[in-house]
Amino acid sequence: MNGRATVPTEPAGVTPKEHRRHASPASHRRRWPAGEGSAAVTSAVPPEDPAGALPGQSPWPVRSGTVPALAADYASRPETAPDLAAALPAGAAVALVTDRGASPGPASGPVSGPAAPDWRRASGKTQLAAAFAESLWQTGQLDLLAWIPATSRASVLSGYAAATAAATGRDQAISCESVAAQVLGWLGETSRSWLVVLDDLGDPAELDGLWPAGRAGRVLVTCAGDAALLRGMRVLPVGLFNSREALGYLMDRLSDNPSQRLGAIDLVSVTDFEPVALTQASAVIASSTMSCHSYREYFTGRRQQLTDSSGAPPASAVTWTISWELADQLAPGGSVQSLLALAALLDGHGIPETVLTAPAAVGNEGGGRTRAALAALERVGLLTVAPDTAPPTVRISPALQAALRAAMPESMLDQAALVAADALLQAWPEAEPPGWPSSGLRSCAAALRQATGTRLWPGGCHPVLLRAGDSLDRARLTGPAADHWSDLLTVSDQLLGAAHPDTMLAGQRLAEALLAAGRPGDAVTWSQRLLDTQAVKLGRDHEDLIGARIRLGHALVAARQPERAISALERVLADSQQRRGPEHADTLGAQDELAAAYLAAGRYPDAITAYRRALAERERAQGPRHPETMTTRLGLADCYLAGGLPKEAVSACKRVVADRERALGPDHLDTVKAWHSLGAAYQRTGKTVAAEGLYEQARVGFEQLLGPRHPDALRSRAELARVYHKLGRYGDARALLLNTVNRLQRILSDDDPLILELREILADIGDE
């Protein structure tokens, strides 16, 4: 989704730097009344669509993700494929796994080790899952269909975020981890029928905390191994065709030219009934003048050539080489080989076509020859191009990718790695749209990094790796982003050294990602390490260390070490004022961070003084309506409120609300937080009716922007319930509190202070 990663916090508890970093213009889909005297909602607990759909919209049924299209020659396999309709009723979870005991031949060809192609994994599991999903959808048995590639944690989180966006129409304002927690909670509670397909699961650890479950839903997993056993799922093996299915498939595939069926029985036998081998063989036969008999003779000779001391290769390891030869004849000039070399290094579950047609990929030949090569490769059964996405999606078997990588000389792999990286970077738009193709580009970057090792580090980190990290940050994939920057830092440190600019940049981005992921203690560790490294290189008092020292202070505040933060920030503020002047961005940032540290330490007079000084400087340097000026003013309002000056807090908050509504609109998260702060200020001044209206607005805003299950949305409900209690609206307060406590119990422990406090209020209401 659009936006940058943020740290989920209480509505009024976000530090100024976080606000400044993440403020951005918002669309104007609706307008909510604001200010003193706004109308109250009619019900304390409004009727709520469990998925959080926008009021007035009826999005159901909802479809999310790209279900792979069924091949033109798709066979239902009634004798050897499991009956998913019977095996997967509502409330069940099933895994389609590769049948390891089905093949009479070896699983791989002569190549062995981690890079060896596992031809058995390509047994048609994804096609079976797609056929089942489409059957349920077309017959109206689903309210929600979510197809999610499960090759990485990032792709799973992206899939949940896409499903939420499709169901709610809501812009994502929180981390994908928080979105996933909410949608998983909804799946477990809803009575709507749903199907989640997790396609090609590799490592079950990637789904820790992300497994869907619910009485109204179905979970279908496809995986090469039996990893789903760890979840206690019912496992359904998918292996080879039997003889009848294999012969029937081949006869149907060659129905346009019955003369080509000559020798079909012998060809079925020699290919060991492998679905992939028969798919590729039939594609070659249908695209040429060959018959099954002549193909079998050619196949037998090629298999003998590939046989070595490890034995004869499986049929699929032979048929793909024949398909490659024909594709090269259909699109001569070397474009087939170069295209396959690139495709072998990217994510075979979905490569945006724009990557393969980027200038770096096509060179001086232009995109026409590449598209001709794509058409030829699709014709011979080596890949598919799905035109129903924008841009079109290219899919290629992971087993074929492994075979291609194993066949590539080292020099060719070196060249292909850099070409793929350049092409991926060229195809990556600066302004990323939500969903596809951004998720596909991120997955391709991850696959490229895994397949090429250190080949993308000649003299420094390739820019595409930085772009991938930026994309993870913007998509609010906070956990995967932290892992990505950590990996880059480790490699850069090993190859380039701790003081190299790329290493320093990766360290800085890692610290920021750790903050966004809610790991401030780790962020402090890396910020300090980065600062120490820079100090050794530049000198402890060097001017260029000012930014790093400010970032360390920010991390210390987030890690609840305010006294240590104050000590560091007081020194850096003095240095910045002296060296860079009072209106420099670093000086203004240091002032805000120091004020936030004073506030966190409970030193309210110092915080008020610091915020006043910072506000005056910002108004002079940036203007009174600059987003960062508004954030500083809200920080001052929070200080007023904490320091026992509620009237001053009201005045400051009213100014922030007016400015943010004008600049950002009423449906921006920063505006909603300002409403909440103004409501708190009104409550402290005894204007409970005014507080009621603002808290109601804030509750609606938080639920719309964050989702009804987000902790901030639930806390805003609790605040509103307190106001209802003060106004004597005991029935509304009780209903809202009961609903809120029930929701909070799903995300907080029973002894959480907020839950205990709300229960005390409920007990008080019960006595009145």
Evaluate whether 700 touches 672 at the Cβ level (below 8 Å).
Answer: no
**CA separation for the pair 753, 768 (Å, rounded):** 23
**CA separation for the pair 31, 748 (Å, rounded):** 32
Q: Is 79 exposed, middle or buried (0-12, 13-18, 19+ CB in 10 A)?
A: exposed
Secondary structure (3-state) at 175: coil
Question: 572, 574, 646, 638: which is closest to 602 by C-alpha?
Answer: 638
408 phi and psi angles, rounded to 5 deg: -80, 130
572 phi and psi angles, rounded to 5 deg: -70, -30
The predicted pLDDT at position 128 comes to 93
**CA separation for the pair 448, 588 (Å, rounded):** 41
**CA separation for the pair 476, 470 (Å, rounded):** 10
**CA separation for the pair 142, 195 (Å, rounded):** 7
The predicted pLDDT at position 2 comes to 36
**CA separation for the pair 26, 310 (Å, rounded):** 62
Angle between helices 410-427 and 335-343 (to 10 degrees): 80
**CA separation for the pair 367, 369 (Å, rounded):** 6
Q: How many helices (H) and strands (E) does the chain have?
A: 32, 9
- The percentage of the chain sitting over the pLDDT mark of 70, rounded to a whole number, equals 87
**CA separation for the pair 764, 434 (Å, rounded):** 47
Q: In three state form, how does the secondary structure of 531-570 look?
A: HHHHHHHHCCCCHHHHHHHHHHHHHHHHCCCHHHHHHHHH
154 phi and psi angles, rounded to 5 deg: -60, -40
The predicted pLDDT at position 768 comes to 53
Cite the DSSP H helix spans in 210-274. 243-253, 264-270
The predicted pLDDT at position 52 comes to 43
| CATH node for 16-47+665-766 | 1.25.40.10
Give how far the C-alpha of residue 1 lies from the chain's centroid of Cα atoms, to the nearest Å.
8
Evaluate whether 721 touches 736 at the Cβ level (below 8 Å).
Answer: yes
Question: 464, 426, 495, 475: which is closest to 155 by C-alpha?
Answer: 475
Cβ contacts of 115 within 8 Å, gap of 6 or more: 402, 405, 406
**CA separation for the pair 22, 25 (Å, rounded):** 10
Residue 198, beta-bridge partner list = 148, 221
Q: In three state form, how does the secondary structure of 648-707 look?
A: HHHHHHHHHHHHHHHHCCCCCHHHHHHHHHHHHHHHHCCCHHHHHHHHHHHHHHHHHHHC
Evaluate whether 199 touches 348 at the Cβ level (below 8 Å).
Answer: no
Per the document, the length of the chain is 768
| CATH node for 331-468 | 1.10.10
Q: Which amino acid is at 711?
A: P
pTM for the structure as a whole: 0.84
Question: Which two structure tokens, joined as six digits, stand for 166?
Answer: 């499709």
Q: Do the bridges between strand 144-149 and strand 62-64 make them parallel or antiparallel, or are there none, so unpaired?
A: parallel
The predicted pLDDT at position 120 comes to 63
Question: How far lies 6's CA from each of 3, 20, 474, 505, 549, in Å?
Answer: 9, 11, 9, 19, 21
Range list of β-strands (E), 100-175 = 144-149
- Under CATH, which architecture does the 477-621 domain have? Alpha Horseshoe (1.25)
Kindly report the CA angle at 412 between 402 and 358, in degrees rounded to 5?
85
- Under CATH, which architecture does the 62-238 domain have? 3-Layer(aba) Sandwich (3.40)
DSSP 223-249: ESSSGGGGGT-EEEEE----HHHHHHH
**CA separation for the pair 226, 233 (Å, rounded):** 10
Secondary structure (3-state) at 10: coil
Give all strands of the β-sheet with 351-352 in edge-to-edge order. 351-352, 393-395, 384-386
Question: How far lies 152's CA from each of 203, 495, 539, 625, 714, in Å?
Answer: 8, 26, 42, 42, 31
432 phi and psi angles, rounded to 5 deg: -75, 130
Secondary structure (3-state) at 58: coil
Kindly report the CA angle at 509 between 610 and 419, in degrees rounded to 5?
150
Question: Which two structure tokens, joined as six digits, stand for 167?
Answer: 């169901």
Low-confidence residues in the chain, pLDDT < 50? 1-57, 103-115
**How many other CB atoms are there within 10 angstroms of residue 135's CB atom?**
13
**CA separation for the pair 29, 169 (Å, rounded):** 10
The DSSP output letter for 272 is T
